[in-house]
């Protein structure tokens, strides 16, 4: 993280408050402290937490939600008093971004468009308390005493543009605000604060930064982001080159929960922010009875020391648990806390789980509250992972409370009054479903484990690594679950090999790294010269079909993804050809001059230019007349507007979590992918379809407006970006009454009624948590209906019945077919019996073995049935040779097992001798051989060869 090479941060505020600049003897970082003798920066392996049992922030006696609320309010109020505008937090699902799923910091709200300078911030300067979720340290939550997956980042931001004379404040004022907040609002003595200079870089940006350390805990970071990565940059940091950027951003982050902890002085952060849930879970899990076994043990002292130790020990992930325990025991003993290994385990293990649960519930409630649907990919997977972790923690603790009930309790206590997009019942319903699916996984897992372990000796003590990897990756069974379930199933000595967890994590990291290598796509044309952007006529009038324009450039096509026959891209000064985008396919049509007509095979967009893909060229400066294939365009518009209407209808029928996960509109049909936690039934589809068609009649006109992003966000929120995050500052918004409002660059009908009708043909699961609706509208709907009719007609014509009798008749035919097939099999067997039992020419006997050599009809399957009749009766030792002329000739030979017949005859050897007569081969077991050939005419010879072979 550290990038050296920046000048010292020497501010007047430091000097006036009595701070001196020193270098840390452990980290080498420069820091400011009022204590001239201090030689560590405050955040090192030698700086212990000093606030545990001795709160450093005064005046906040409450705990839990009340503490967080008070702390947040104090922070925001302070910055409002110094001219910052308070803004509402953004969702934890970062739907305005396509590079991250979750909001990981307050600055994430303003990336990438505000931080790049393209979009105005909602206020400037501003203050916010942004709920964030980071899952990278999920393993440490509960164990370390301080890690959280979900936290609020309190912040003050300023976006300066010194070139435009817009300078709000920079380092000096920023640190001054911070210092005043810490010392006056929160009453922290200046001597307890160290300001550490530690430059920051990440995500293509960099800048000087100051960490604010209080009592060994980093409470805040102040970043002065003023550089961006650039190959020609004149500042080198950590091997990358940076240059100054026009925007200079104050990016701060104050950890709300850490402030709460420093104010409460509790042994761990969890007791400060989730005291009710922790107490409840202790109760439910019977923790108090465990800890009361040892009345001589001071639990608070133990936990406090644990947190202090955790704070200074940088525990690498994957450190062996046994080793870690011995380190802790040794160091606790050094501090005068005597605890046995048994006591340590009995107390810390359940407690770590109790602490993690409210944290996970908090993150989960935020995510689901924002309308996320759990699934097995993308952001949904993160929610499922948290839900399953919580369930396992709960099960490990032996708590028998449904997940939904835990969440309900958590929300009532910790998230009261929080506005959520998802309904309360919807959220609990999703959790019930998740618990059901988890239970199902465990149940199936038991079977899978037994099957996988079958080859393993019952007294084995380890499971092969490959088996553990496989069970984890393919069946979701974590190694410790495998061991536990395996022990129940009889492998009582099983244990997890030391160091296995770390190896599995490494292996996953390696796989992820390999997968990260992106495939670069070749551009459509080599270069586009400096030209004005093409004027898009289709926005002014979606009905316009013809236009005149002049040719600005013609470029040969080089990309691979071009329509067949297209050789060149024509760029015009204006066009009403819609280029492929937003899931809507490009227009086709014609470009012509007086002497030349070129068919437009597809239309694309590169930058601000519309590329008409044609076979042939024009001269630059030619005046062309363009006309679009209107039937195609009309159909594409039908589907596009219909997709929006169906999306709105689905939201009304299924709930607020319905979000567009993708869409495509072609001439044949429209496709809409929506997020939902269950498969859709036909009656769901019917309900959506009905509402969609009602909208066609009710909404007279669609409303198309263009807003800048700041106003669009404010007016409509982030549901606008269902079709993906748009790039520019200007956003086109399509509003279909209150039914559906989206940012969309496609072409849409002014009057929805022009679509005619909408049919939802079917739904398919494109991935877990995402349903794909296939939609036909307008002419395509009519075509679809006709095609369906035709299918029905053709099917019923086969039977010669009216179409409404089709289901009944088909059912009857199928039942009869099954029955008759059975009868035929029985009859065939009967024929064989008759031909062989009567002692006819097909059957004879040699020394107590019945010999049956005969030609039959049928394939190998039927012949097998016949052979069964002949050779399965041990009381009648038999050698049977059957031949058929089907499919090039088939031969099958069987002898009754474990009888004199099988002793005397070898079916495979006999087959090999006679098969050449039908020019074939085959094989099998000594009691059953089968083969085939390519010369059915030789069957008679083959059978007589068999006769002479056995001596008939």
Please answer whether residues 726 and 743 qualify as being in contact, where contact means their C-beta atoms are separated by less than 8 angstroms: yes
> Whose CA is closest to 128, among 166, 100, 158?
158
Contact flag: residue 928 with RNA (CB under 7 A): yes
Non-local CB neighbours of 160 within 8 Å, separated by 6+ positions: 166, 167, 168, 169, 170, 247, 248, 249, 250
List Cβ neighbours of 578 (8 Å cut-off, separation of 6 or more).
538, 584, 586, 587, 603, 628, 633, 636, 746, 747
Continuous H helices in 335-464: 341-369, 378-397, 403-414, 424-453
Which range touches RNA (CB under 7 A), out of 400-408, 510-518, 744-752, 801-809? 510-518
Q: What distance in Å separates the CA atoms of residue 879 and residue 894, rounded to the nearest whole number?
A: 6
- To the nearest whole angstrom, how small is the minimum distance from the Cβ of residue 648 to RNA? 23
Q: Is 473 in the site for RNA (CB under 7 A)?
A: yes
According to the binding rule CB under 7 A, does residue 202 interact with RNA? Answer: no
The reply to whether 935 sits near RNA by the rule CB under 7 A is no
Selected from 1, 322, 457, 515, the binder of RNA by CB under 7 A is 515
CB of 933 to RNA, least distance (A): 6
SS3 assignment, position 873: coil
Terminus-to-terminus CA distance in the chain, angstroms? 92
- Determine if 102 is a binding residue for RNA (CB under 7 A): no
Burial 903-923 (b: 16+ CB within 10 A, else e): eebbbbebbeebbebbbbebe
Residue with tokens 């004149």: 234
Q: What are phi and psi of 706, to 5 degrees?
A: -120, 125
Half-sphere exposure of 145 (CA within 13 A, CB side): 25
C-alpha to C-alpha distance for 949 and 947, rounded to whole angstroms: 5
Stretch that binds RNA, among 248-256, 272-280, 472-480, 538-546 (CB under 7 A): 472-480
Q: What is the DSSP letter of 182?
A: I
921 binds RNA (CB under 7 A): yes
Q: Which residues of 429-452 are buried (b: 16+ CB within 10 A; e: fewer)?
A: bbbebbbebbeebbeebeebbeeb
Of 26 and 505, which CB lies nearer to RNA in the complex structure? 505
Tell me whether residue 13 or residue 773 sits nearer to RNA (CB atom). 773
How many residues in the shown chain lie near RNA by CB under 7 A?
Answer: 60
State how far the Cα of 946 lies from the Cα of 952, in Å rounded to an integer: 9
Q: Give the x-and-dash track for 808-827 against RNA (CB under 7 A).
A: ----------x---x-----
Q: Which one, 422 or 896, has the nearer CB to RNA?
A: 896
- Candidates 142, 265, 426, 922: give the one binding RNA (CB under 7 A): 922
Q: Which stretch, 91-99, 111-119, 280-288, 882-890, contacts RNA (CB under 7 A)?
A: 882-890
| Tokens found for residue 521 | 């796509």
Q: DSSP letter for 137, please.
A: T
Nearer to RNA, 241 or 868 (CB): 868
Nearest distance, CB of residue 310 and RNA, angstroms: 23
939 binds RNA (CB under 7 A): no
Q: In this structure, what token pair is assigned to residue 27?
A: 């980290």
- Taking CB under 7 A as the criterion, the residue among 4, 764, 785, 798 binding RNA is 764
Encoded tokens for 76:
């925001």
| Nearest approach, Cβ of residue 642 and RNA (Å) | 21
Find the binder of RNA among 868, 885, 904, 912 (CB under 7 A).
Answer: 868
Q: How far is the CB of 378 from RNA (least distance, A)?
A: 4
Which class for 419: exposed (0-12), middle (13-18), buried (19 or more C-beta within 10 A)? exposed
Q: 385 or 460: whose CB is closer to RNA?
A: 385
In whole angstroms, what is the distance from residue 872 CA to residue 51 CA? 85
Distance CA(722)–CA(740), nearest Å, equals 11
Q: Does 897 bind RNA (CB under 7 A)?
A: yes
Stretch that binds RNA, among 160-168, 541-549, 553-561, 918-926 (CB under 7 A): 918-926
Chosen residue from 166, 444, 682, 701 binding RNA by CB under 7 A:
444
Position 470 contacts RNA (CB under 7 A) = yes
Minimum distance from CB of 822 to RNA (Å)?
A: 6
Q: Does 930 bind RNA (CB under 7 A)?
A: yes
Encoding tokens for residue 145? 């005493």
Q: Kindly write out the interface string for residues 349-388 of this chain, putting x where it contacts RNA by CB under 7 A and - elsewhere.
A: ---------------------------xxx--x--xx--x
Under the binding rule (CB under 7 A), the answer on residue 660 touching RNA is no
User: Contact with RNA (CB under 7 A): which of 105, 212, 867, 942?
Assistant: 867
If one asks whether residue 900 binds RNA (CB under 7 A), the answer comes out as no
Q: Toward RNA, which CB reaches closer, 31 or 438?
A: 438
CB distance 732 to 746 below 8 Å: no
Q: Taking contact as CB under 7 A, which single stretch among the options 345-353, 362-370, 433-441, 532-540 is the one that binds RNA?
A: 433-441
The site string for RNA over 306-335 (x = CB under 7 A, - otherwise) reads ------------------------------
Residue number with CB closer to RNA (101 or 748): 101
137 binds RNA (CB under 7 A): no
Contact status: 682 vs RNA (CB under 7 A) = no
For RNA, the closer of residues 181 and 685 by Cβ is 685
- Strand 217-229 to strand 200-202: parallel, antiparallel, or no bridges (unpaired)? unpaired
The span of 231-239, 643-651, 732-740, 884-892 binding RNA (CB under 7 A) equals 884-892
DSSP string, 232-285: T-SEEETTEEEEEEEEEEEEEEEEHHHHHHHHH--SSHHHHH-HHHHHHHHHHH
Single out the residue of 167, 623, 765, 792 in contact with RNA (rule: CB under 7 A). 765
Which one among 215, 920, 936, 938 touches RNA, defined by CB under 7 A? Answer: 920
Q: How far apart are CA 844 and CA 877, in angstroms?
A: 12
One of 121, 932, 936, 938 touching RNA (CB under 7 A): 932
Backbone φ and ψ for 402, nearest 5 degrees, come out as -60, 150
User: For residues 952 and 950, what is the distance between their CA atoms, to the nearest angstrom?
Assistant: 6
Angle of CA points 901, 905, 910, to nearest 5°: 140
Q: Is 476 a binder of RNA (CB under 7 A)? A: yes
Query: Could you give the CA distance from residue 482 to residue 870 in angstroms, rounded to a whole number?
Result: 49
DSSP one-letter code for 33: E
CA distance 929 to 463: 41
289 binding RNA? (CB under 7 A): no
Q: Tell the burial category of 724 from Cβ atoms under 10 Å away from its Cβ (0-12, 13-18, 19+).
A: middle
Instruction: Return the number of the residue (42 or 670) whose C-beta is nearest RNA.
Output: 670
- Site for RNA, rule CB under 7 A: 376-378, 381, 384-385, 388, 437-438, 440-441, 444, 447-448, 451, 470, 472-476, 508-509, 511-512, 515-516, 679, 764-765, 767-768, 818, 822, 860-861, 864, 867-868, 871-872, 887-888, 890, 894, 896-897, 920-925, 927-928, 930-934
């Amino acid at each position: 993280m550290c990038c050296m090479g920046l000048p010292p941060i020497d501010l007047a505020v430091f000097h006036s408050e009595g701070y001196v600049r020193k270098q840390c003897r452990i980290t080498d970082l420069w820091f400011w402290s009022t204590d001239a003798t201090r030689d560590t920066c405050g955040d090192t392996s030698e700086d212990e937490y000093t606030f545990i049992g001795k709160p450093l922030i005064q005046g906040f006696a409450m705990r839990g939600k009340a503490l967080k609320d008070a702390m947040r309010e104090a922070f925001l109020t302070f910055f409002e008093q110094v001219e910052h505008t308070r803004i509402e937090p953004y969702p934890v699902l970062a739907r305005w971004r396509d590079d991250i799923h979750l909001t990981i910091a307050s600055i994430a709200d303003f990336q990438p468009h505000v931080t790049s300078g393209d979009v105005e911030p909602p206020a400037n300067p501003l203050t916010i308390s942004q709920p964030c979720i980071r899952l990278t340290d999920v393993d440490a939550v509960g164990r370390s005493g301080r890690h959280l997956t979900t936290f609020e980042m309190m912040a003050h931001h300023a976006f300066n543009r010194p070139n435009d004379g817009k300078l709000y404040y920079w380092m000096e004022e920023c640190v001054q605000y911070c210092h005043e907040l810490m010392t006056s609002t929160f009453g922290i003595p200046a001597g307890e604060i160290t300001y550490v200079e530690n430059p920051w870089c990440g995500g293509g940006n960099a800048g000087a930064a100051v960490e604010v350390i209080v009592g060994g805990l980093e409470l805040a970071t102040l970043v002065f982001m003023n550089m961006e990565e650039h190959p020609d940059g004149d500042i080198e940091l950590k091997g990358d080159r940076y240059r100054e950027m026009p925007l200079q951003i104050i990016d701060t982050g104050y950890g709300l929960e850490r402030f709460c902890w420093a104010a409460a002085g509790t042994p761990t952060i969890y007791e400060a922010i989730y005291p009710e849930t922790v107490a409840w879970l202790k109760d439910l899990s019977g923790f108090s009875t465990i800890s009361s076994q040892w009345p001589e043990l001071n639990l608070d002292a133990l936990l406090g020391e644990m947190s202090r130790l955790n704070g200074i020990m940088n525990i690498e992930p994957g450190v062996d648990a046994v080793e870690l325990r011995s380190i802790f025991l040794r160091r606790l003993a050094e501090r005068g806390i005597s605890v046995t290994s048994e006591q340590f385990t009995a107390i810390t293990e359940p407690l770590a789980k109790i602490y993690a649960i409210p944290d996970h519930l908090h993150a989960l409630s935020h995510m689901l509250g924002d309308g996320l649907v759990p699934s097995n990919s993308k952001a949904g997977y993160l929610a499922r992972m948290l839900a399953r972790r919580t369930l396992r923690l709960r099960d490990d603790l032996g708590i028998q409370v449904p997940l939904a009930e835990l969440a309900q309790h958590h929300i009532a206590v910790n998230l009261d009054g929080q506005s959520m997009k998802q309904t309360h019942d919807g959220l609990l319903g999703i959790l019930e479903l998740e618990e059901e699916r988890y239970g199902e996984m465990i149940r199936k897992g038991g079977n899978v484990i037994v099957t996988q372990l079958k080859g393993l000796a019952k007294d084995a003590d380890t499971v092969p690594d490959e088996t553990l990897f496989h069970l984890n990756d393919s069946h979701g069974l974590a190694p410790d679950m495998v061991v536990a379930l395996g022990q129940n199933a009889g492998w009582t000595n099983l244990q997890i090999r030391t160091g296995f967890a770390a190896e599995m994590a490494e292996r996953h990291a390696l796989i992820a790294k390999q997968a990260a290598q992106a495939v670069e796509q070749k551009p459509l044309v080599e270069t586009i010269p400096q030209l004005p952007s093409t004027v898009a006529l289709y926005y002014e009038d979606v009905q316009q079909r013809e236009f005149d324009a002049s040719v600005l450039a013609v470029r040969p096509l080089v990309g691979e993804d071009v329509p067949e026959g297209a050789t060149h891209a024509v760029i015009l000064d204006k066009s009403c050809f819609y280029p492929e985008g937003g899931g809507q396919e490009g227009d086709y049509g014609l470009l012509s001059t007086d002497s030349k007509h070129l068919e437009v095979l597809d239309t694309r967009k590169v930058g601000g230019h519309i590329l008409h893909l044609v076979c042939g060229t024009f001269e630059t400066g030619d005046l062309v007349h363009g006309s679009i294939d209107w039937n195609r365009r009309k159909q594409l518009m039908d589907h596009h507007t219909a997709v929006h209407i169906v999306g709105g209808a689905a939201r009304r029928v299924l709930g607020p979590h319905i979000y567009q996960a993708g869409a495509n509109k072609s001439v044949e049909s429209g496709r809409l992918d929506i997020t939902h936690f269950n498969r859709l039934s036909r009656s769901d589809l019917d309900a959506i379809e009905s509402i969609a068609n009602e909208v066609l009649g009710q909404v007279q006109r669609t409303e198309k407006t263009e807003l800048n992003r700041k106003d669009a966000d404010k007016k409509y929120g982030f549901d606008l970006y269902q079709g993906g995050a748009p790039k520019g500052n200007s956003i086109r918004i399509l509003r279909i009454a209150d039914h559906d409002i989206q940012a969309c660059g496609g072409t849409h009908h002014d009057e929805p009624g022009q679509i005619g009708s909408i049919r939802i043909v079917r739904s398919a699961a494109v991935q877990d948590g995402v349903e794909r609706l296939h939609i036909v509208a307008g002419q395509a709907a009519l075509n679809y209906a006709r095609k369906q009719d035709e299918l029905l007609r053709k099917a019923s014509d086969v039977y010669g019945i009216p179409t409404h009798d089709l289901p009944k008749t088909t059912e009857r035919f199928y039942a009869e077919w099954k029955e008759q097939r059975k009868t035929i099999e029985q009859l065939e067997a009967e024929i064989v019996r008759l031909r062989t039992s009567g002692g006819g020419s097909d059957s004879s006997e040699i020394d107590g073995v019945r010999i049956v050599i005969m030609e039959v009809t049928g394939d190998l399957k039927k012949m097998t049935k016949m052979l069964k009749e002949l050779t399965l009766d041990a009381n009648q030792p038999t050698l049977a040779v059957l031949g058929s002329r089907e499919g090039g000739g088939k031969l099958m030979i069987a002898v009754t097992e474990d009888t004199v017949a099988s002793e005397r005859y070898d079916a495979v050897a006999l087959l090999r001798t006679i098969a050449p007569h039908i020019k074939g081969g085959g094989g099998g077991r000594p009691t059953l051989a089968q083969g085939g050939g390519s010369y059915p005419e030789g069957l008679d010879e083959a059978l007589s060869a068999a006769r002479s072979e056995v001596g008939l």
